[in-house]
Amino acid sequence: MSNFFRQEVDAAVDALLLQQIILYPTDTVWGLGCDAELPRVIDRLYALKKRPPGKPCLILVADEQMFARYAAVVPANLPELLAAETRPTTYVVPASSQVAPSLQAPDGTIGLRISQDEFTHKIVRRLGHGLVATSANFSGEPAAAMYKEVSPELVRAVDYVANWRQDDTKSAAPSRVVRVEADGTLTVLRD
């Protein structure tokens, strides 16, 4: 791990600890994020993105233990589901009391994803709890797969922009989204 990589992780975590909104690369598209346990900052992120209330954002977590912190029901087969992943997958599960109401869907669920991207994973691990993740675009506009696709207006509006993978030319797709049913089976919501 290079010094530059460590410095960028540290800078992103410092911004999050200062209750700021960051723009950063994820294991899928570029994202906007903030500390998942600070409702006031989450509300600010929704306003910045012009996202309507009631439209949930997902939470990136570092591991199964952190997943359990935000899920009211953890699938018994979660280790097997994670081991079988072939691409980034967001799991829709009932939200725990740790999840801000604004991050929940109207049915009380939340999307959780264990980040496979080293940069994002290190940020979440160092932060010590969930990181809100929503695509880096204004509501209703296309997601930014690469940094060069992020609106300059949005870049100026956030508190911190990660200087990591800004030169990527390979486009990434949004995550697969699956709902975990009570019996542990999966219903694909987005493939």
Q: What is the pLDDT of residues 12-55, one digit of tens each?
A: 999 999 999 999 999 899 999 999 999 999 999 999 999 987 78
Segment 2-18 mean pLDDT: 95
End-to-end CA distance of the chain: 33
Domain boundaries of the chain, sorted by first residue = 3-190
The 10s digit of each residue's pLDDT in 71-130 is 998 888 888 888 888 889 999 999 999 999 999 999 999 999 998 899 999 999 999 999
Mean pLDDT of 138-164: 95
13 contacts 126 by C-beta, under 8 angstroms:
yes
User: How far is residue 151's CA from residue 96's CA, in Å, rounded to a whole number?
Assistant: 34
CATH (one of 3.90.226.10, 3.40.1410.10, 3.90.870.10, 3.40.470.10) for 3-190: 3.90.870.10
